[in-house]
Structure 1
Amino acid sequence: MTAAGRKAFAERDGAHLKPGVTKKVSEMTPQEMRRKGSWAVRFYGREKLPPLVDADGQPTRLALSAHAWGEPVPRTVAAARRIAAKGERLLARYHRIKDRDAGGRRG
């Protein structure tokens, strides 16, 4: 969603929407890894994906959401699955960091 769209939502509903995470993986905080990984798996890891292109060959809104998260716009199911796989890797990395930090606090 654009900045203007997030602002309109905030004024209308009091929502606090955040923009998609577009940073490189090496620059992400654990929370950003969790957000982006969760988004990628939720959108592109579904068992049956909705169409990624319309009848005219243009990307659908589902496909265009990838651009807002710094990913290439998928045109095929395989491309969408690559984004979902990246999301799974981000979530796994987040959990490793979280478990490591939690383990260090015990004792």
Structure 2
Amino acid sequence: MAKTPRAPWKRSNPRKRAGKAAKHLSPAQKSAAKARARRAGRRYPNLVDNMRMAAKKTSKKKTSKKKTFKKKTSKSKAKSAKKSAKKSRKRSAKKTAKSSRKGSASAREKDPRGGLTAAGRKAFARKQGAHLRPGVTKPEAEMTPQEMRRKGSWAVRFYGRAKLPPLVDAKGRPTRHALSAHAWGEPVPKTVAAARRIAVKGERLLARYRRTKR
């Protein structure tokens, strides 16, 4: 047979058995216990009313703990947001530094007067395996047959095509396509007629190369 629980007024105070000091209700708890008794039709609060009010104290503690936990979580969220913002700023700074390094490298590889620099030819050899050589700037009388072939094929490829790329930009400055003539010892063309004259010179060099080969 299971024992029926004894009424609280028939049990001894557990705090006294443990040797602890008894806890008293606060004035607010006492007024709440009196109000509970009046609602039940009693003049004074009994032990059950006081126990109810004492039990509510622990629930308040729990709610206060929940509030502090919420505050802590909001603080931690703010800290994590700050960390993520710092990381994103670092990433953007690294990207800008990389892009500036790439831009400076490409500027070093291109000759501002036209064509590629020695560093640019090395970069092409490293990336694409192409063995590029500097343009032939010698006079026609001093050229070897191979140099005639190289310069003639360049001139026909660049300025002998049916439709030429733009030779001048919107501000009237020569484009990279036009500046390539400087790397081969030719005047930079700004008009289609000037570009066609370079192409005709290239055809003459190729014809001379074929005659010397025969």
**Given the two structures, how large is their TM-score scaled by the length of structure 2?**
0.45
- Aligned match for 1:89, one of 195, 204, 208: 204
Q: Name the one with the larger helix percent.
A: 2
One-letter code of the match for 2:137?
T
- Give the match for residue 50 of structure 1: 165
1:65 equivalent in alignment to 2:180:
yes
Greater relative contact order: 1 or 2 (C-alpha under 8 angstroms, separation 6 or more)?
1
Structure 1 residues without counterparts, runs of 5 or longer: 100-107
- Aligned match for 2:213, one of 88, 98, 106: 98
Misfit runs of 4+, over 4 Å: none
Q: Number of matched residues?
A: 99
Structure 2 residues without counterparts, runs of 5 or longer: 1-115
One-letter code of the match for 1:45?
G
**Given the two structures, how large is their TM-score scaled by the length of structure 1?**
0.88
1:13 equivalent in alignment to 2:115:
no
1:37 equivalent in alignment to 2:155:
no
Identity of aligned residues (%): 83
The CA deviation at 1:9 is: 2.0
Aligned CA RMSD, in angstroms, stands at 1.0
